[in-house]
Copies of this chain bind each other. A is one copy, B any other.
């Protein structure tokens, strides 16, 4: 397979795999795709260790790092992370805190601990910038930015290091903003994707974005990509590669929380919902008692980003390790319906390619037949 993506990065398959697990990142890159490590949950010090490990295990293959720098959020003008944290904490209504603790108690989840609560980790310019600096000290191929175009100086810094920049977009308009910010690659993500996502489906979105960004920008298709047929469809729509996330949650190398994994394996494509309960912006999650509660009559509604995340971020690990398990959820796309078996990451890559080739052969055959 050859697209501008394979040529640009020197990879065999234009398949990007987003994961928070370094083992998955390394495995996908070694198998011929490109793993991209999500930096969200790591302090700069932790990220340094993760990237060092990947450098030692990726067999010299290219990999990327993904950071989150939302373009617009409450308190965006604060100069100091500590001060910002304090101001935002104060803006969280007690009624919301009470609702949350009530919900957790109802499901037998352990009470909050005294531990320092790093609630803004990775969600703001202040916390993401040090992550970018760490990432650029390693020989990464790609810096990806979720939730909006990265600041111009970050793009410039990456380019100075010979690193390409990717931006996620859920509308053609967002894609345009990313291009204006100097981004090299647009990850056009349809509504069916896991995590933060818009309303327009991949089928409709990809051709719009490809046309909107013009010849000089590369587009990757994301959302609903889990099988070779979908890789073929994504490329048929005009993309030059695909960006995948959900399917790596159920591979052997992933450290997906123990109580979430069976739910992912059992879920059908109808068992997800776009919910604001995690961060304040709509994100697709497995539908469970957690997502239901925030939409119920009793819910106080969700807070804007980043306060909703500050409110719930401490609760999520508590839910993962205690209580009846009914609240346990995970960000995942509608592709979860075809995620029914744990396989090695390399196997997933090979299965994707095998079915991709079959799909293209079939398509070519039926097109050329008289």
Residues of A within 8 A of B (CB): 1-3, 171-172, 190-192, 198-208, 223-225, 227, 229-230, 232-238, 240, 269-270, 333-335, 337-338, 356-357, 359-360, 363-364, 366-367, 369-370
Q: Is the CB of B236 within 8 A of A363?
A: yes
Assuming the contacts A229-B207, A230-B203, A233-B236, asked whether A364 and B359 have C-beta atoms less than 8 A apart, the reply is no
In the assembled complex, the Cα of A35 lies from the Cα of B36 at a distance in Å of 46
A338 proximity list for chain B (CB < 8 A):
204, 207-208
A238 proximity list for chain B (CB < 8 A):
229, 359
Q: Is the CB of B232 within 8 A of A236?
A: yes
Chain B nearest CB from A263 CB (Å) reads 18
- The contact of A201 among B198, B203, B240, B364, by CB within 8 Å, is B203
Minimum CB distance partner of A369 in chain B: B2
Assuming the contacts A363-B232, A366-B2, asked whether A334 and B204 have C-beta atoms less than 8 A apart, the reply is yes
A202 proximity list for chain B (CB < 8 A):
201, 203
Q: Is the CB of A366 within 8 A of B270?
A: no
A269 proximity list for chain B (CB < 8 A):
171-172, 200, 204-205, 208
Residue pairs across A and B with Cβ atoms less than 8 A apart, 9 shown, are A3-B366, A190-B201, A198-B270, A203-B233, A207-B227, A236-B360, A360-B364, A360-B367, A363-B364
Q: Is the CB of B200 within 8 A of A225?
A: no
Assuming the contacts A1-B367, A229-B237, A369-B1, asked whether A190 and B203 have C-beta atoms less than 8 A apart, the reply is yes
Q: Which 9 A-B pairs have the closest CB atoms?
A: A203-B224, A2-B369, A192-B201, A233-B233, A232-B236, A233-B236, A204-B334, A204-B224, A201-B201
Chain B nearest CB from A203 CB (Å) reads 4
Instruction: Add 12 more A-B contacts to A200-B269, A207-B338 (CB < 8 A).
Output: A1-B367, A1-B369, A192-B201, A198-B270, A201-B201, A207-B227, A232-B237, A233-B233, A233-B236, A235-B366, A236-B363, A360-B363
Most buried by B among A204, A207, A236: A204
Q: Is the CB of A207 within 8 A of B235?
A: no
In the assembled complex, the Cα of A199 lies from the Cα of B2 at a distance in Å of 34
In the assembled complex, the Cα of A194 lies from the Cα of B357 at a distance in Å of 32
A205 proximity list for chain B (CB < 8 A):
269
Q: Is the CB of A201 within 8 A of B233?
A: no
A240 proximity list for chain B (CB < 8 A):
366
A192 proximity list for chain B (CB < 8 A):
191, 200-201, 203-204
In the assembled complex, the Cα of A363 lies from the Cα of B230 at a distance in Å of 13
A229 proximity list for chain B (CB < 8 A):
206-207, 236-238
A363 proximity list for chain B (CB < 8 A):
232, 235-236, 360, 363-364
In the assembled complex, the Cα of A230 lies from the Cα of B237 at a distance in Å of 6
Chain B nearest CB from A1 CB (Å) reads 6
In the assembled complex, the Cα of A270 lies from the Cα of B171 at a distance in Å of 8
Minimum CB distance partner of A359 in chain B: B236
In the assembled complex, the Cα of A172 lies from the Cα of B337 at a distance in Å of 11
A370 proximity list for chain B (CB < 8 A):
2
A171 proximity list for chain B (CB < 8 A):
269-270
A206 proximity list for chain B (CB < 8 A):
229
A224 proximity list for chain B (CB < 8 A):
201, 203-204
Q: Is the CB of A208 within 8 A of B337?
A: yes
In the assembled complex, the Cα of A191 lies from the Cα of B367 at a distance in Å of 27
